[in-house]
Amino acid sequence: MYGGRTSLLIGFAAALLTTLLATVLGLVAGYYRGWTDAVISRALDVVWAFPVTLLAIALGLALAVGGLRVGPLHLSGSSLWIPILIIGAVYVPYMARPIRGEVLSLREKEFVEAAEAQGAGPLRVMFGELLPNLWSTIIVFFTLGVANSMLLEAMLSFLGVGVQQPETSWGTMVGSGFQLITSAPQLSLIPGAMILLTVLSVNVLGDGLRDALDPRSKLRLEVHAGTPEPEGTAV
């Protein structure tokens, strides 16, 4: 239970960080377009070009050894903020790009033109008009991000570049018990089973939220899978 507290903390905190960064970048890139969109998109492409696992391992190894120092702020290599920042950063492109695509579509809608005609500034249009129409997408991505963050944290901790002593998590417990897998398999199997059940539960929650908040997604999936359209429906 103590290790689960750390795993859940990192999962939710990293997913929240990813959601905040991706939402802001997606809104700015989709609304302003032009060179702003080009700069943000190319920066996201650079991160996207690296495999998530290898990038996270490289950052985790570098920061676990020397920590992180940004001006007066200093984080030691054993701080829980290190894996939170790493996991939160590497998943940003996978959420920011879909949000940017939706913002580009919403940008052409009449309610945006009406708000601009009434004198609304960019911040008001982005956060007052566009953001409320993105909540369903953001909530779904957040729940799925929690599951992905927990899996990545477990992998990093298993390899020794995630959660550091004296803290512990399900990933570190799996790694510690792996040395005794033949004599005491429960040391690895129990925390591994908890990771599996938690990630599965969060994914099911995310799928349920997607179907509840965007019923059309299920219809699109059925149509693409070859399900016949209801009689009398125009396609």
If pLDDT is split at 50, 70 and 90, which confidence band does 233 have? very low
CB contact at 8 A, 57 and 123: no
Instruction: Please state the domain extents for the chain.
Output: 2-216
* 214: pLDDT strictly greater than 70: no
Among candidate residues 86, 66, 84, 85, the one with its CA nearest the CA of residue 76: 66
Question: What pLDDT does residue 77 have?
Answer: 66
pTM equals 0.82
CA-to-CA distance for 40 and 29, rounded, in angstroms?
A: 6
Question: What pLDDT does residue 219 have?
Answer: 45
Which residues share a beta bridge with 70?
73
- Long-range contacts of 71-79, Cβ-Cβ distance < 8 Å, separation of 24 or more: 77/164, 78/164, 78/165, 78/166, 78/167
Q: What's the mean pLDDT in 31-50?
A: 90
> CB-based burial of residue 66 (10 Å sphere; 0-12 exposed, 13-18 middle, 19+ buried)?
exposed
Question: What pLDDT does residue 42 have?
Answer: 92
When comparing pLDDT for 136 and 10, which is higher?
10
If pLDDT is split at 50, 70 and 90, which confidence band does 39 have? very high
Question: What pLDDT does residue 221 have?
Answer: 43
* 124: pLDDT strictly greater than 50: yes
Question: What pLDDT does residue 27 have?
Answer: 92
Q: For 54-111, write each residue's pLDDT tens digit.
A: 888 888 888 876 677 776 777 776 788 888 989 999 999 999 999 999 998 888 888 8
Domain 2-216 fold is: MetI-like fold (1.10.3720)
Question: What pLDDT does residue 226 have?
Answer: 52
Q: What's the mean pLDDT in 41-62?
A: 88
Question: What pLDDT does residue 189 have?
Answer: 87
If pLDDT is split at 50, 70 and 90, which confidence band does 18 have? very high
